C-alpha cells in the first residue's frame, strides 16, 4: 500500500508552489526534459495558471494528459486543447494521447479523482488492472458523464504508476470519503487499485 501524505485545505497557490518545487528539483538534478502527466476537468487549470507564474524553465517541461475526450483539440471538451492554450505559450510541450504513443516514466503523475473513484478515464466499469499490458487505452465510461458524454482515451494504471511520485488534488467531502476508504484499503475502486500498487510517495491535497 502507498505511503500517503494528506495536506488539508490546500489552495491553488499552495498546490502550485508544491508542484513548482518538485519540478524545480528534477530540473536542478539534470539537463534533460522533465515529464509530467496532469488531469483534466475544471480543477487543474487554475492551478496550472498559478504554476506558470513560477520561475521555471518551461521549455524543458513535457506534459502528458492523464486522459482526454475523443473530440477535436479545438473542441471545448478537449483537455489537450486547453493544456496547449495554457502551456505552449510558455514553451512547454503538450503530448497528444494516441494508442501508438510509447509512454515514458513520469517525474510526477498529478491525478484527480471522481466521486465514483475513477482516475484519468479509468471508470469503475472499465475494470482497470495493475497488470494491464497496454500503456494507453480507448474506452467508454458507463454511465457517460452528462457534462462530457464522449468516448475517452486514457493512460492505464501501469502507465500512471510508472512515475517517481504521485500527487492527487481532491475537493469536497464526498470525494474525501472515497479517498479515505481507498487509502485504508477498504474499496476496490480504480483509485484504490492504483494506491494498492503504488510504491512511490503519494501526496493528496484536499
pLDDT along the chain (206 residues), means of 10: 88 98 97 96 94 98 97 96 97 95 96 96 96 96 88 98 97 95 96 97 96
Q: What share of the chain is helix, strand, coil (3-state, %, to 5)?
A: 35, 20, 45
Q: Give the DSSP letter of residue 105.
A: -
24 contacts: CB under 8 Å, gap ≥ 6: 54, 56
pLDDT given at position 63: 98
Residue 172 grid cell: 469536497
Predicted pLDDT at 74: 95
Asked whether 147 and 159 are in contact (CB, 8 A), the reply is: no
Q: What pLDDT, on the 0 to 100 scale, is given for residue 148?
A: 85
Question: Grid coordinates representing 74?
Answer: 479545438
Alpha-carbon distance 172 to 75, whole Å?
28
> Tell me, what's the pLDDT at 1?
58
CATH class of 3-205: alpha beta
Amino acid at each position: 500500500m502507498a505511503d500517503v501524505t494528506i495536506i488539508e485545505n490546500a489552495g491553488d497557490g499552495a498546490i502550485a508552489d508544491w508542484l513548482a518545487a518538485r519540478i524545480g528539483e528534477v530540473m536542478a538534478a539534470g539537463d534533460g526534459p522533465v515529464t509530467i502527466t496532469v488531469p483534466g476537468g475544471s480543477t487543474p487549470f487554475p492551478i496550472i495558471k498559478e504554476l506558470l507564474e513560477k520561475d521555471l524553465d518551461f521549455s524543458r517541461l513535457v506534459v502528458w494528459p492523464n486522459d482526454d475526450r475523443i473530440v477535436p483539440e479545438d473542441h471545448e471538451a478537449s483537455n489537450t486543447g486547453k493544456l496547449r492554450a495554457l502551456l505552449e505559450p510558455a514553451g512547454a510541450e503538450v503530448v497528444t494521447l494516441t494508442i501508438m504513443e510509447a509512454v515514458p516514466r513520469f517525474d510526477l503523475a498529478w491525478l484527480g479523482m471522481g466521486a465514483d473513484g475513477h482516475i484519468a478515464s479509468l471508470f469503475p466499469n472499465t475494470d482497470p488492472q495493475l497488470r494491464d499490458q497496454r500503456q494507453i487505452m480507448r474506452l467508454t465510461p458507463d454511465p457517460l458523464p452528462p457534462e462530457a458524454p464522449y468516448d475517452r482515451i486514457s493512460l492505464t494504471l501501469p502507465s500512471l504508476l510508472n512515475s517517481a511520485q504521485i500527487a492527487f488534488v481532491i475537493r469536497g467531502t464526498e470525494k474525501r470519503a472515497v479517498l479515505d476508504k481507498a487509502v485504508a484499503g477498504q474499496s476496490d475502486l480504480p483509485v484504490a487499485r492504483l494506491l494498492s500498487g503504488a510504491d512511490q510517495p503519494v501526496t493528496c491535497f484536499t
